[in-house]
Structure 1
Amino acid sequence: MTKEGSLCTVTPNGGGKDDAISIMDAFKQCGKNGQIEITEGDFTIAKVMDYLNLENCDISIKGKLTWSTDMNYWKGACMGVTYAQRCTAFRLGGTNFNVRGHGKALFHGNGQTWIDANRNGSNMQGRPINFTLWKAKNVLVDGITWRQSQFWHTFVAHSENITMTNLDMNTTSNSQWNTVNTDGTDTWNTKGVTIKNWVVTCGDDCISMKGNSSDVYVKNVTCYESGAMVIGSLGNPASTPDYVENVVFEDITAIHSSNAAWIKTYPGTGYVRNITFRNINFQDVNQPIYVTPCIYTWQNCDSSRLKISDVTWENITGTSRYNVGAGLYCSRNIPCTGFKFKNIDIKPKNGGSIKYLCSNINSDNGLGCTGTCPAGWKQQLSGNA
């Protein structure tokens, strides 16, 4: 790392030597009222990177950052991010900073190592989120590519006024094990997020709004092999209320995904309100529209006190894998209200008629429900209903 005035420039050590120390040095010396240039070249990241005091800083990344496969190190050093006992390998925070990749930056997590070790499990202890914004305000992240992320690609927590544009994420497996829980991004305790122009291939939620996320706008995202656009999971533990409101997803494409536009909660407390899914197009999606108050356990569905209201699905078109276009079950104790459906055109990919199953929602929703949805209706179908 070299410093000239307020500019810190980091070049790779080469030979597989750790570059994390040099990058951290640049954050410390030029992270306030400065510029950081991570040049083209191959960088090895063998240690956690954590800097939360950025201020009026422009970070330019043009190189390839590859995280090491030393699982013992990462499991011990991975920085906790509170949510569901998860942790991260790289965390930035502060105010008024940009992270620009110029379409050249590549973050490679060596995720196959973690996929194979995880063996289709869900939340392997110490498995790191690749990149986290933490207590960040007024931030732009632009033009970065992710490949083979260790766990979630990105996480945004305790933050405000975040813009993330022109991002490309792809984690796939070349072994018998699946890319479980390799979300594109998740927000939590965050207000004011703009996401535009993403392409994501992952093994779980593409874009997910978790507890206490508000004022979120998502536009022009293409998701492959994923859960696509998600509110949730919320409501766990039930003693801690979760609130999500004022979220718009529009101009979304989902290809061969599990779901397309959906809301998942545990039997908890809080609310979800003022959500819009607009212009969602999909191909070969298992269950495009889905709402549940009892995700994963499918028990105690009617005990939930987490109110879901004022949700609009508009211009939702495409093919479902089976004959269910929507499975909507709301808690009997606190039914869903203000659901609106406009221009819904879902066809089973193998022909036949579509089913829209609804329970405990307002009857003037416009969907044309064809039957009731049983309590504990599962997220994934294995055949026609």
Structure 2
Amino acid sequence: MYFVILIQFLSLLSLWPPATFAAIVKRGATCTVTPLSATPKPRRSIGTVHPAARDVDLDATSPGSPEPVAPQWPAPGRYPRPAPSQGSHPPAERMAPPTETPVDRADHDSDELVDHHTLWHREPAATIDDTPQILSAFKQCGKDGTIIFAEGVFNIRQVMNTTDLSNCDIEIHGTFLWSADNIASYWLRSTYSVTYAGRSTAWLFGGRNVSMRGFGRALFDGNGQAWIDQNKGGSNQNGRPISLTVWRGTNIYIDGITWRQAQFWHTFIAHSQNVTMTNLDMNTTSHSQWSAVNTDGTDTWNSRDIVISNWTVTSGDDCISVKGNSTNVHVSNIVCYESGGMCVGSMGSNAGQPDYVDNVVFENVTLYHSSNAAWIKTYPGQGHVRNVTFRNIRCNDVNQPIYVMSCIYSGQNCDGSRLGISDVRWENITGTSRYNIAAGMHCSGQVPCTGFSFSGIDIKPKNGGTAKVMCSNIKNQASMGLKCDGACPGNWPQQLSGNR
């Protein structure tokens, strides 16, 4: 009799699919990663629960049924991309269903065949950390492989260093959500240094021949409001991390990712070559009394051959900034809200180390309610800015569209700077300024600006009147194509508070 029961029990088990709890599935050189929050774990057998309290119909899972009934999961779906004006992220509860229904196969003391259908539960999101499995996937498939991050929310509670990738394609279909309940206890003390100005990052990303695609579905949520509030309007807080840093990368391609509420700068490109970043949507907006300070779209530094195209950025600082020792940078088709616009600098802060910027193009850019549009900011240091073009820039209520300053922020030693600025073209800069100033430009008296060229400049104050141009120390001022209305002192502000 016992033998017959055992045979029946084994036959029933054969009808049930095997349990699958792995968050990483590797097939060949491809790793598919599922968020731990979407990977259910068995909690208890309903065989130990009174039938009246069960939430599964036992009749549907009786031995006469072909297979057990799967739990009811939310319908799978793609995350919608939030509108640029929103600072929220898609709901975390939307998760993909498991591919198979797990079964508790623990032995039972009773002679009676008992249904062991398992109830599901998920750990609270605050206790989940997907960082180890994310890093494991990069380790397993980061060389000559493909990594696919499935839909769902990946909770990231630790820093990540994935700079040894090679010939790797990455697909992100879900959300990367950085924690904010451990800002003081972990993040401020653990982020990776990126050398520049004492800044740091949450994710160092690099290697050779690497692509990261989000298909318009990937979302990076840095919980930025928590960072904004704890920083209380401060500037460059030590340990406050850049969301993603391309570090020592060669042939890097990043496309189709949305950022919401970044911790600090959205991205940074450093010590890298041949980096292309396209179709990105970034928005960090404060909804409290504190402003979103230093939330740049991206900054380049010590890098060359950079292509940035088709971005929408809402930020509390520079939209796109090209910093020292950047060469061959092409920026096009950008829309910026509440930002600092297209900027070269700042650079030259270390008086003993020259900074150089060569061959930069910004074109086809639209700016709304921004501080500046097409501008260059340097400290009184050493080096040069050479061969820069600002082309087809449309301004809508921009504080001071064109701005050049040789002593940014301090207003001191402005004429002593040895960082020369030459061969800069402003072409088709149009739209409205907030006040009656279209341009303020103060170059170094020791190394005057040369080769400035203006054409198609049509900027009008939004409240009517004529916009003025203020200039100092431009060597070819008489032939540059723009009439100066007066001198621009060294303490001329980057942002104006009214008409001049």
By how many angstroms is 1:381 displaced?
A: 0.4
Instruction: Note the 1:8-27 alignment, pairs <5 A.
Output: 8-14=31-37, 15-16=124-125, 17-27=128-138
User: Is 2:147 aligned against 1:36?
Assistant: yes
Q: What secondary structure sits across from 1:260 in the alignment?
A: strand
By how many angstroms is 1:76 displaced?
A: 1.1
Q: What secondary structure sits across from 1:29 in the alignment?
A: helix
Matching residue of 1:365: 480
Separation of aligned partners in 2, 1:141 and 1:47: 22
Deviation readout 1:104-145 (Å, 9 max, x if unpaired): 000000000110111111111110000010000001000000
Q: What secondary structure sits across from 2:425 in the alignment?
A: strand
Q: What secondary structure sits across from 1:8 in the alignment?
A: strand
By how many angstroms is 1:375 displaced?
A: 2.0
Matching residue of 1:153: 266
1:141 to 254, 261, 278: 254
Matching residue of 1:89: 202
Q: What secondary structure sits across from 2:249 in the alignment?
A: strand
Separation of aligned partners in 2, 1:382 and 1:50: 43
Matching residue of 2:29: 6
Runs of 4+ in 1 over 2 A off after TM superposition: none
Matching residue of 1:286: 399
Q: What secondary structure sits across from 2:230 in the alignment?
A: helix
Matching residue of 2:187: 74
Give the counterpart letter for 2:382 in structure 1: T
Q: What secondary structure sits across from 1:233 in the alignment?
A: coil
By how many angstroms is 1:43 displaced?
A: 1.0
The structure where strand makes up a greater share of residues is 1
1:377 to 478, 483, 492: 492
Contact 2:206 2:252 in 1 (8 A): no
Matching residue of 1:121: 234
Deviation readout 1:318-364 (Å, 9 max, x if unpaired): 10000000000000000000000001000000111110001111221
Matching residue of 1:199: 312
Deviation readout 1:39-77 (Å, 9 max, x if unpaired): 110110001111111000000001111100010200111
Bigger CA drift: 365-374 or 244-253?
A: 365-374
By how many angstroms is 1:308 displaced?
A: 0.2
User: Is 2:175 aligned against 1:60?
Assistant: no
Separation of aligned partners in 1, 2:490 and 2:227: 35
Deviation readout 1:210-252 (Å, 9 max, x if unpaired): 0100100000000000001000000011111000010000000
Deviation readout 1:229-280 (Å, 9 max, x if unpaired): 0000000111110000100000000000000000000000000000000000
Deviation readout 1:290-343 (Å, 9 max, x if unpaired): 000001111110110000000000000010000000000000000000000001
Separation of aligned partners in 1, 2:235 and 2:492: 21
Matching residue of 1:174: 287
Give the counterpart letter for 1:87 in structure 2: S
Matching residue of 1:46: 157
User: Is 2:350 aligned against 1:244?
Assistant: no
Instruction: Note the 1:248-327 alignment, pairs <5 A.
Output: 248-327=361-440
Give the counterpart letter for 1:10 in structure 2: V
Matching residue of 1:350: 463
User: Given the two structures, how large is their TM-score scaled by the length of structure 1?
Assistant: 0.99
Q: How many residues align?
A: 385
Identical residues among aligned pairs (%) = 63
By how many angstroms is 1:370 displaced?
A: 1.4
Q: What secondary structure sits across from 1:181 in the alignment?
A: coil
User: Given the two structures, how large is their TM-score scaled by the length of structure 2?
Assistant: 0.77
Matching residue of 2:96: none
Separation of aligned partners in 2, 1:197 and 1:58: 21
Separation of aligned partners in 2, 1:12 and 1:205: 33
Separation of aligned partners in 2, 1:175 and 1:375: 35
Separation of aligned partners in 1, 2:25 and 2:199: 34
CA RMSD of aligned residues (A): 0.6
Separation of aligned partners in 1, 2:351 and 2:339: 27
Separation of aligned partners in 2, 1:271 and 1:240: 12
Separation of aligned partners in 2, 1:120 and 1:262: 24
Matching residue of 1:216: 329
By how many angstroms is 1:374 displaced?
A: 1.5
Q: What secondary structure sits across from 1:152 in the alignment?
A: coil
Give the counterpart letter for 2:424 in structure 1: V
Q: What secondary structure sits across from 2:248 in the alignment?
A: strand
By how many angstroms is 1:10 displaced?
A: 0.9
Larger radius of gyration: 2
By how many angstroms is 1:2 displaced?
A: 2.0
Separation of aligned partners in 2, 1:238 and 1:224: 33
Separation of aligned partners in 1, 2:195 and 2:246: 13
By how many angstroms is 1:372 displaced?
A: 1.3
Q: What secondary structure sits across from 1:288 in the alignment?
A: strand
Separation of aligned partners in 1, 2:421 and 2:235: 26
Separation of aligned partners in 2, 1:335 and 1:12: 57
Contact 2:264 2:295 in 1 (8 A): yes
